[in-house]
Chains A and B, each alone.
Chain A
Amino acid sequence: MTSTAAASVVGQPVSRVDGPLKVAGGATYAAEFDPGPGLCHGAIVTSTVASGRIASIDTAAAEAAPGVVAVLTHRNAPVLPYHEHKGLTDPPEGERIHLLQDDRVRHQGQPVALAVAETLEEAVYAASLVRVSYRPESAVTAFSDAVAHAVPPGPRYRDRGLEGDGGRGDADAALGAAPVRIEAEYVMPRLNHNPIEPHGTVARWSEGELTLWDKTQWVDNVRAEMAAVFGLPPDRVRVVSPFVGGAFGSGLRPWANVTLAAMASRHVDRPVKVVLTRRQMFGITGYRPRSTHRVALGADRDGQLLAIRHEGVSETSTYETYAEEQLGSSEYLYACRDVATRYRVAPRNVQTPNDMRGPGKVTGVHALECAMDELAAALDMDPVELRLRNDTIVDQSTGVPFSSRSLRECYQAAGERFGWSRRNPRPGAMRDERGRLVGYGCASATWPAMRQAAEARARLLPDGSAVVSSSSSDMGPGTYTSMTQVAAETLGLPLERVRFELGDTRMPTAPVHGGSWTMASLGSAVQAACAEARRRALAEIGRADADLAAVLRQIGEPVEATVRTEPGDELRRYSAHSFGAVFAEVAVDPDLCTVRVPRLVGAYGVGRVVNPKTARSQITGGMVMGMGMALTERTEVDPRDARPVNSSLADYLVPVNADVGELDAVFVDEEDPHVNPLGVKGLGEIGTVGVAAAICNAVYHATGRRVRELPVTVERVLGAAVR
């Protein structure tokens, strides 16, 4: 790196490079692409039973409605090959629904017809005219009934390392012998991602080739899935997705809108757009599954953990098994000799859940960290002190050391900023100037630092600029910006001379944009591709120390390098995770029992931070999602018919601006030489982990009431307030 100015770009709070385009209203999202003449609109008709057969379907009125081009049902839809395909983000167990291929209904909200018309309004009207009757079959609709028939995740999950039962030692015996014990059950409702942009697709066929403009976190997987569904070679499918209006995991799998748009477009031989309504976002896309956890902790009187037993069960569908690693953190977060975990999935006649920001960890850490607070109370010990007493530099679930771990530093940094030392340990002892009960709570956060293979191309141009590309996604964290920073630093070019492109299957293959691994995976590939392109350019003129821009002008033609990087064995030699500590202050009205959160303070050890500005926003956004989980968010599913009943943004309460107080997120200095070439551990998900527990623990501190079922609503606090 010859340019010192450019070399300092990584680590700087660079403003989002795509910001000016977005604030001007010029960023083009999936449903806004113009596929050329003849575009028509599709409106989906969805099932109204949880299980059964379509007895009759009458489309005559719909077909006669103004502007209607076609109405597709299982009776006239093309028979599609639906070859086997399971991407990394698809459940390995079970089989996806084959849309409009038969009369079977497996969940409420399953697409049973598609009305295609000249305008959206005409399509929606036509869809309303489709008459469907069903022969309902017996269905598991209540979560409690599903739990009664819960099963372990299955052999293909075991192949991925997700076991139903885990742990070490003899937790039951250790619990029995422990001088201090607590045991409690925690209930976490279903949560929906609710990105502000609904899922939508524009499909166009041209000479047997399918182009899809889609909202996705993984264009390559959409291509693979559509190639499998339609029986096409993958190179006949192109997927384009330069901007994604939030996803949080909802863009990890292609939903019905993709297949239906492609199917309809081929059927009517015109481009077709299908956008899910907000209501359909609750019935067609995935969600964080409803879960019930039971945690038992045993400790000696000094707070040393002697036993952890953590059991969890979460909902899945009847046609696929969605399992997530909810209990892993209970095996590595703290030092403890005897640990037992038991995880089960409960099949229910609903659509399949899928990963939502911090999948598994958000759920499991919530239960564990609430239980830790209960243990601290039982021990009459400071909750921070309890965590620190059980800190460990070795991952006891595997016996290998952590690549880096700053949990202690996080508690110190966040605790100091928060003012934890002002906390009166007695519940109900603190009040604010308005007479509200004040509570302070804390919790640990953790998320694994993972890395995937990735490929990037760096193309250096004679004018001294560079275009770097990979098929990745930027659902909001700032992929465009952070990759531009890494490329500029590696090339030694000014930021403004480097452009990063993503979101097209014609680009080199990126891993799925999720798991908090984009920076580690793609960042490493971008760095390698840029280093190689720079080396080639300098080699052409035989000098290693020249100014790259001048060299490129001298060469006079583009210099290109495409490099694929993949992780080595570092993640077997080290246990790599980001860690954090989050503190919450709540203010509870003693009469109304409303809970407000004046402050959330978090500190995180995430390795190197490429861009503090975008990183901070990622964390604060994650914190507010955790606050929503704690206080307002839940998808209510009717236990009688498994229908989501609050499927709108008026009834599913995403936190609004006026709900939020002061947010403070800091990163502790942390150098991780082991985890990947960039030394980054990922920070997309960890901001959500632990927040709900910190808030629940603060509510206990304010009121003396343990609210063990989320969200913490007024009625669950009512009558609890210490007067």
Chain B
Amino acid sequence: MRVTMTVNGHRMDADDVWEGESLLYVLRERLGLAGSKNACEQGECGSCTVFLDEVTVCACLVAAGQAHGRSVRTVEGLAEAGADGAPGLSDVQEAFVAAGAVQCGFCTPGLLVQTEDLLRRTVAAGAGAPSDAEIREALAGNLCRCTGYEAVIEAVRLAAEWTERGRPAGGPARGEAR
């Protein structure tokens, strides 16, 4: 079957999709969007988290056909392109780099999507920055084996601060201490 979706703002068609294929498989293997990761195939690890009509889902648990006619946003679509057309980084993405919340990088795409969602529901909606407990709970479905989550919490706090007050001009110096 043919599956048509809006992916990161662009209309995309996937042909010859077998009915049992997951949204994750179609994104990775048919549409060339390998940013969303495949790590458990059964919704346990959160590495494949994407927005489906702006609700976060594990793409491995969504049949590709269920996404037909709907809108999907992946890690590749979190940031708007910069003025020169070069890919930019969102506040959340920049904060993860600055806080050292990225190690091997494999859980990172799912964590970024889930964090984006958390901040949209909280600080961006005028409800204030999430507490540490809220952050930990919101991200409890995204397994990370490298960082121990400490730097992840730090990154989310930083991103919340930037969302509230704006990112420092020129972005964070990448060589700077936290």
Q: Which residues of A contact B (CB under 8 A)?
A: 12-16, 18-20, 22-29, 31-32, 119-122, 194-198, 243-248, 275, 277-278, 475-478, 495, 612-614, 616-618, 620-625, 648-650, 654, 656-658, 660, 663
Report how far A657 CA is from B136 CA in the complex, Å.
5
User: Which A-chain residue is minimally distant from B19 (CB atoms)?
Assistant: A121
- Residues on B with C-beta less than 8 A from A654 are 143, 145
Report how far A654 CA is from B174 CA in the complex, Å.
31
Instruction: Give 1 or 0 for each of B122-157: 1 = CB within 8 Å of chain A CB.
Output: 000000000000011101111111111111110000
Determine chain B's interface SS by DSSP, over half rule: loop
User: Which B-chain residue is minimally distant from A474 (CB atoms)?
Assistant: B104
Task: Specify which of A32, A119, A617, A656 is in contact with B147 (CB 8 Å cutoff).
Answer: A617
- Residues on B with C-beta less than 8 A from A656 are 140-143
Closest Cβ of chain B to A55, distance in Å, is 31
- Residues on B with C-beta less than 8 A from A478 are 103
Task: Specify which of A23, A119, A245 is in contact with B112 (CB 8 Å cutoff).
Answer: A23
Q: A246-B145, A654-B145 are in contact. Are A477 and B103 (CB under 8 A)?
A: yes
CB pair B29–A119 under 8 Å, yes or no, is yes
Q: Which of B1-58 contact A (CB under 8 A)?
A: 18, 20-21, 25, 28-29, 33-42, 44-45, 47
Task: Specify which of A26, A119, A475 is in contact with B104 (CB 8 Å cutoff).
Answer: A475
Closest Cβ of chain A to B31, distance in Å, is 13
Closest Cβ of chain A to B14, distance in Å, is 12
User: Which B-chain residue is minimally distant from A119 (CB atoms)?
Assistant: B18
Report how far A616 CA is from B153 CA in the complex, Å.
14
Q: Which residues of B contact A (CB under 8 A)?
A: 18, 20-21, 25, 28-29, 33-42, 44-45, 47, 74-76, 79, 87, 89, 93-94, 96-98, 100-109, 112, 135-137, 139-153, 174-178
Tell which of A278, A617, A650 has the most Cβ of chain B within 10 Å.
A617
- Residues on A with C-beta less than 8 A from B28 are 32
User: Which A-chain residue is minimally distant from B152 (CB atoms)?
Assistant: A657
Task: Specify which of B139, B142, B149 is in contact with A624 (CB 8 Å cutoff).
Answer: B149
Closest Cβ of chain B to A689, distance in Å, is 15
Tell which of A248, A614, A658 has the most Cβ of chain B within 10 Å.
A658
Q: A196-B104, A658-B140 are in contact. Are A23 and B89 (CB under 8 A)?
A: yes
Closest Cβ of chain A to B55, distance in Å, is 20
- Residues on A with C-beta less than 8 A from B79 are 24
Closest Cβ of chain A to B105, distance in Å, is 3
Closest Cβ of chain A to B138, distance in Å, is 8
Task: Specify which of A20, A25, A198, A621 is in contact with B109 (CB 8 Å cutoff).
Answer: A25
CB pair B105–A18 under 8 Å, yes or no, is yes
Report how far A617 CA is from B153 CA in the complex, Å.
12
Report how far A245 CA is from B142 CA in the complex, Å.
14
CB pair A621–B148 under 8 Å, yes or no, is yes
Task: Specify which of A24, A246, A616, A650 is in contact with B44 (CB 8 Å cutoff).
Answer: A650
Q: A246-B104, A656-B143 are in contact. Are A24 and B151 (CB under 8 A)?
A: no
CB pair B21–A121 under 8 Å, yes or no, is yes
Task: Specify which of A14, A20, A196, A658 is in contact with B145 (CB 8 Å cutoff).
Answer: A196
User: Which B-chain residue is minimally distant from A29 (CB atoms)?
Assistant: B106
- Residues on A with C-beta less than 8 A from B109 are 25
Closest Cβ of chain B to A102, distance in Å, is 31
CB pair A617–B103 under 8 Å, yes or no, is yes
User: Which A-chain residue is minimally distant from B100 (CB atoms)?
Assistant: A613
Closest Cβ of chain A to B45, distance in Å, is 5
User: Which A-chain residue is minimally distant from B112 (CB atoms)?
Assistant: A23
Closest Cβ of chain A to B65, distance in Å, is 13
Task: Specify which of A28, A196, A612, A623 is in contact with B144 (CB 8 Å cutoff).
Answer: A196
- Residues on B with C-beta less than 8 A from A26 are 35, 76
CB pair A13–B178 under 8 Å, yes or no, is yes
Determine chain A's interface SS by DSSP, over half rule: loop
Task: Specify which of A25, A121, A658 is in contact with B137 (CB 8 Å cutoff).
Answer: A658
CB pair B100–A614 under 8 Å, yes or no, is yes
Q: A19-B96, A246-B145 are in contact. Are A277 and B41 (CB under 8 A)?
A: yes
Report how far A23 CA is from B97 CA in the complex, Å.
7
CB pair B150–A14 under 8 Å, yes or no, is no
- Residues on B with C-beta less than 8 A from A31 are 38
CB pair B104–A476 under 8 Å, yes or no, is yes
CB pair B106–A246 under 8 Å, yes or no, is yes
User: Which B-chain residue is minimally distant from A41 (CB atoms)?
Assistant: B29
CB pair A248–B145 under 8 Å, yes or no, is yes
Report how far A194 CA is from B177 CA in the complex, Å.
30
CB pair B140–A27 under 8 Å, yes or no, is no
User: Which B-chain residue is minimally distant from A24 (CB atoms)?
Assistant: B87
CB pair B98–A15 under 8 Å, yes or no, is yes
User: Which A-chain residue is minimally distant from B133 (CB atoms)?
Assistant: A658
The 8 closest A-B pairs by CB, nearest first: A25-B35, A245-B106, A22-B105, A476-B104, A624-B148, A19-B97, A620-B148, A25-B75
CB pair B177–A23 under 8 Å, yes or no, is no
Report how far A606 CA is from B152 CA in the complex, Å.
24
- Residues on B with C-beta less than 8 A from A476 are 103-105, 146
Closest Cβ of chain A to B8, distance in Å, is 10
CB pair A20–B89 under 8 Å, yes or no, is yes
Task: Specify which of A25, A243, A246 is in contact with B76 (CB 8 Å cutoff).
Answer: A25
Report how far A476 CA is from B49 CA in the complex, Å.
21
Q: A620-B151, A649-B45 are in contact. Are A22 and B102 (CB under 8 A)?
A: yes
Report how far A14 CA is from B108 CA in the complex, Å.
19
- Residues on A with C-beta less than 8 A from B149 are 624, 657, 660
17 A-B Cβ contacts within 8 A?
A14-B174, A20-B89, A23-B102, A25-B34, A246-B106, A278-B39, A278-B40, A476-B103, A476-B146, A495-B175, A614-B100, A617-B146, A623-B148, A648-B44, A649-B40, A654-B145, A656-B143
Q: A120-B29, A245-B105 are in contact. Are A650 and B42 (CB under 8 A)?
A: yes
In addition to A15-B98, A617-B147, 4 A-B residue pairs with Cβ atoms within 8 Å of each other are A13-B178, A195-B145, A247-B104, A649-B45
- Residues on B with C-beta less than 8 A from A24 are 35, 75-76, 79, 87, 89, 93
Q: A23-B108, A620-B148 are in contact. Are A197 and B97 (CB under 8 A)?
A: no
User: Which A-chain residue is minimally distant from B92 (CB atoms)?
Assistant: A23
- Residues on A with C-beta less than 8 A from B106 are 29, 195-197, 245-246
User: Which B-chain residue is minimally distant from A194 (CB atoms)?
Assistant: B145
User: Which B-chain residue is minimally distant from A275 (CB atoms)?
Assistant: B38
Report how far A194 CA is from B106 CA in the complex, Å.
12
Q: A27-B105, A649-B44 are in contact. Are A14 and B136 (CB under 8 A)?
A: no
User: Which A-chain residue is minimally distant from B74 (CB atoms)?
Assistant: A25
CB pair A617–B100 under 8 Å, yes or no, is yes
- Residues on A with C-beta less than 8 A from B39 are 196-198, 245, 278, 649
Closest Cβ of chain B to A237, distance in Å, is 25
User: Which B-chain residue is minimally distant from A614 (CB atoms)?
Assistant: B100
CB pair B143–A196 under 8 Å, yes or no, is yes
CB pair A196–B100 under 8 Å, yes or no, is no
Task: Specify which of A121, A623, A663 is in contact with B20 (CB 8 Å cutoff).
Answer: A121
Report how far A576 CA is from B39 CA in the complex, Å.
38
Closest Cβ of chain B to A346, distance in Å, is 28
Closest Cβ of chain B to A463, distance in Å, is 20
- Residues on A with C-beta less than 8 A from B34 are 25, 28-29, 32
Task: Specify which of B76, B145, B148, B175 is in contact with A12 (CB 8 Å cutoff).
Answer: B175
User: Which B-chain residue is minimally distant from A122 (CB atoms)?
Assistant: B18
Task: Specify which of B36, B37, B38, B150 is in contact with A663 (CB 8 Å cutoff).
Answer: B150
CB pair B96–A14 under 8 Å, yes or no, is no
Closest Cβ of chain A to B5, distance in Å, is 17
Report how far A32 CA is from B105 CA in the complex, Å.
14
CB pair B104–A244 under 8 Å, yes or no, is yes
- Residues on B with C-beta less than 8 A from A25 are 33-36, 74-76, 109
Report how far A278 CA is from B48 CA in the complex, Å.
14
- Residues on B with C-beta less than 8 A from A32 are 28, 34
Closest Cβ of chain A to B154, distance in Å, is 10
Report how far A131 CA is from B175 CA in the complex, Å.
57
Task: Specify which of A20, A245, A660 is in contact with B150 (CB 8 Å cutoff).
Answer: A660
